[in-house]
C-alpha cells in the first residue's frame, strides 16, 4: 500500500446496538415527528412475530405503521415500484426497512423512488448522480440476519427484470437516519440461514479487505469483523440461543458491511448474476464460490492472508492454511460443494461470465478476470468448488 497517496473516508450512520433496542424505534420516530412509516420487509420475514409487533408498538405512540411485505428473496424492480405506489397512496412519511438483505434492500430502493417520477435505473450506481435530489424519506434500517450488513448505507441490489441482471442502485444523499442492531431479532433464524448469511458477512470482510485501495478505516473494520465471525459463526450454529454469540455476529456483519464501502470482488460479481438468473440464496451462493475465487486471487492477496488468518483463526497462517481452514469451515456449515447442487446449469456459464464481468464488484477485485477466466471460475465452482 502506498501511504504517500491521499484518501477520503466516510463513516456511515448512527448505529444503536443491544438486545431489546428494537423497543426504542417508536420513540425514534416520535422525536422526528414521523407519524406514518411504511414498514418494508421481505416475503420470508413478514410472519415473524416481532415484525407484526412493530405496528402495535408504534400505535401506542400514535404512529400508524403500514406493512409492505412483497419484496422477493432477490428483490425485483417490480417489487420496488409496487412499494413506491403504496408509499405514495398511503401518504407515508418515512420507511422502516426490516429483514434480511432483501427486505432492507427493498426498503432502501423504495426510499429512493418514493414521491418522485424517476426511472429506477436513473439510480444505477454507474450513472452520474443527480445532485438536485435531496428530499428522501427518513429511513430506519433493522437487520434480522447477521448477514448482509446492508443497514448502514444506501445501496440496494435490485434485479432488472428486463435484462435479468442484478444491479446496484443508490443515491449518496440517502443515508439511513439510524440502524438498530438488536440481536434478539436474529434468534429465530433457522440454522441454514444462520450459516448462509453468516458466510455472506465473512465474504464481505474478506473481499473488502482484499480490495486494493487505501482505506485503513475499512480495513480495520474488516479485520475486526473477521475476528468476531471467526469466533462466533460456529457458535451460533451449535448454540443458536446464545445471545452473546448472536450479538457478536450482528456486530461483525455490520462492520463487514461498512468495510465494503471499499468495494467487493468476484465472489459477489458472480453471485449477483447467479442470483438474478436462478433466484438462489445470496449467502449460500457466495459460500460455494468463495474457494475458487480465493485461488484465482491468490497471487494478488498473498500478502494479506496472514492478517486475515490471524483475525479469523487466532494464529498465523499462509494461503494454504487459510484455504484449508475456510474450506473446513464451509464443510462444517454444510455448504454444498458445487453450484450444480443449487441448480446452476453448464449451459448458462457463458451468460453468467458476461454478466458478471459488468458487475461493479468485478472492477474492485484485486485481479482482473477476462471472460474466459470468469468462465473457468464458474465452471470449477460448478463441478467441484473445493
Q: Which residues bind Fe ion (CB under 5 A)?
A: 200
Cβ proximity to Fe ion: between 145 and 357 the closer is 145
Minimum distance, C-beta of residue 104 to Fe ion, in the bound complex (Å): 12
Q: Where are the beta strands (DSSP E) in 111-164?
A: 139-143, 156-160
Cβ proximity to Fe ion: between 182 and 200 the closer is 200
Cβ proximity to Fe ion: between 94 and 259 the closer is 259
Minimum distance, C-beta of residue 357 to Fe ion, in the bound complex (Å): 19
Q: Which residue has the cell 440464496?
A: 281
HSE of 256 in the Cβ direction (CA atoms, 13 Å)? 30
- Per DSSP, the chain holds a count of helices (H) and strands (E) of 13, 8
Minimum distance, C-beta of residue 267 to Fe ion, in the bound complex (Å): 8
Q: What is the DSSP letter of 51?
A: H
Cβ proximity to Fe ion: between 38 and 142 the closer is 142
Number of C-beta neighbours around residue 188 at 10 A: 15
Phi (first) and psi of residue 142, to 5 degrees: -135, 105
How far lies 82's CA from each of 50, 71, 90, in Å?
24, 9, 12
Closest CB to Fe ion: residue number: 200
Minimum distance, C-beta of residue 231 to Fe ion, in the bound complex (Å): 20
In angstroms, rounded to a whole number, what is the distance separating the alpha carbons of residues 318 and 321? 5
- Crossing angle of helices 349-357 and 371-383, in 10° steps, is 130
Cβ proximity to Fe ion: between 69 and 200 the closer is 200
Cβ proximity to Fe ion: between 200 and 219 the closer is 200
Minimum distance, C-beta of residue 44 to Fe ion, in the bound complex (Å): 17
3-state secondary structure of 68: strand
In angstroms, rounded to a whole number, what is the distance separating the alpha carbons of residues 71 and 66? 15
Minimum distance, C-beta of residue 361 to Fe ion, in the bound complex (Å): 9
Q: Is 181 exposed, middle or buried (0-12, 13-18, 19+ CB in 10 A)?
A: buried
Cβ proximity to Fe ion: between 87 and 196 the closer is 196
Minimum distance, C-beta of residue 164 to Fe ion, in the bound complex (Å): 19
Amino acid at each position: 500500500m502506498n501511504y504517500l497517496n491521499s484518501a477520503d473516508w466516510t463513516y456511515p450512520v448512527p448505529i444503536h446496538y443491544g438486545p431489546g433496542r428494537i423497543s426504542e424505534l417508536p420513540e425514534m420516530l416520535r422525536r422526528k415527528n414521523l407519524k406514518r412509516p411504511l414498514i418494508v420487509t421481505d416475503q420470508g420475514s413478514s410472519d415473524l412475530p416481532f415484525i407484526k409487533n412493530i405496528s402495535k408498538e408504534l400505535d401506542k405512540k400514535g404512529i400508524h405503521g403500514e406493512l409492505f411485505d412483497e419484496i422477493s428473496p432477490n428483490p425485483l424492480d417490480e417489487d420496488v415500484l409496487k412499494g413506491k405506489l403504496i408509499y405514495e397512496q398511503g401518504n407515508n412519511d418515512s420507511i422502516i426497512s426490516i429483514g434480511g438483505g432483501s427486505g432492507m434492500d427493498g426498503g432502501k430502493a423504495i426510499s429512493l423512488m418514493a414521491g418522485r417520477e424517476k426511472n429506477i435505473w436513473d439510480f444505477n450506481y454507474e450513472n452520474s448522480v443527480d445532485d438536485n435530489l435531496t428530499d428522501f424519506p427518513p429511513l430506519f434500517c433493522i437487520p434480522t440476519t447477521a448477514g448482509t450488513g446492508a443497514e448502514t448505507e444506501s445501496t440496494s441490489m435490485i434485479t432488472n427484470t428486463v435484462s435479468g441482471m442484478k444491479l446496484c442502485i443508490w443515491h449518496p444523499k440517502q443515508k439511513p437516519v439510524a440502524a438498530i442492531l438488536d440481536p434478539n431479532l436474529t434468534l429465530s433464524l433457522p440454522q441454514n440461514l444462520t450459516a448462509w448469511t453468516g458466510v455472506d458477512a465473512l465474504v464481505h470482510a474478506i473481499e473488502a479487505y482484499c480490495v486494493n485501495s487505501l482505506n485503513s478505516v475499512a480495513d480495520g473494520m474488516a479485520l475486526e469483523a473477521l475476528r468476531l465471525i471467526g469466533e462466533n459463526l460456529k457458535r451460533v450454529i451449535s448454540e443458536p440461543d446464545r445471545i452473546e454469540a448472536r450479538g457478536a455476529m450482528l456486530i461483525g456483519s455490520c462492520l463487514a458491511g461498512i468495510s465494503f464501502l471499499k468495494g467487493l470482488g468476484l465472489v459477489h460479481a458472480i453471485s449477483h448474476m447467479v442470483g438474478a438468473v436462478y433466484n438462489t440464496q445470496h449467502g449460500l451462493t457466495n459460500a460455494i464460490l468463495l474457494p475458487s475465487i480465493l485461488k484465482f486471487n491468490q497471487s494478488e492477496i498473498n500478502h494479506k492472508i496472514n492478517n486475515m488468518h490471524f483475525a479469523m483463526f487466532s494464529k498465523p497462517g499462509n494461503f494454504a492454511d487459510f484455504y484449508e481452514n475456510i474450506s473446513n469451515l464451509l464443510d462444517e456449515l454444510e455448504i454444498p460443494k458445487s453450484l450444480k447442487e443449487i441448480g446452476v446449469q453448464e449451459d448458462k456459464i457463458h451468460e453468467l461470465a458476461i454478466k458478471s464481468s459488468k458487475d461493479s464488484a468485478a472492477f474492485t477485485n484485486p485481479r482482473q478476470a477476462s471472460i474466459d477466466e470468469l468462465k473457468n471460475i464458474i465452471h470449477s465452482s460448478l463441478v467441484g468448488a473445493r
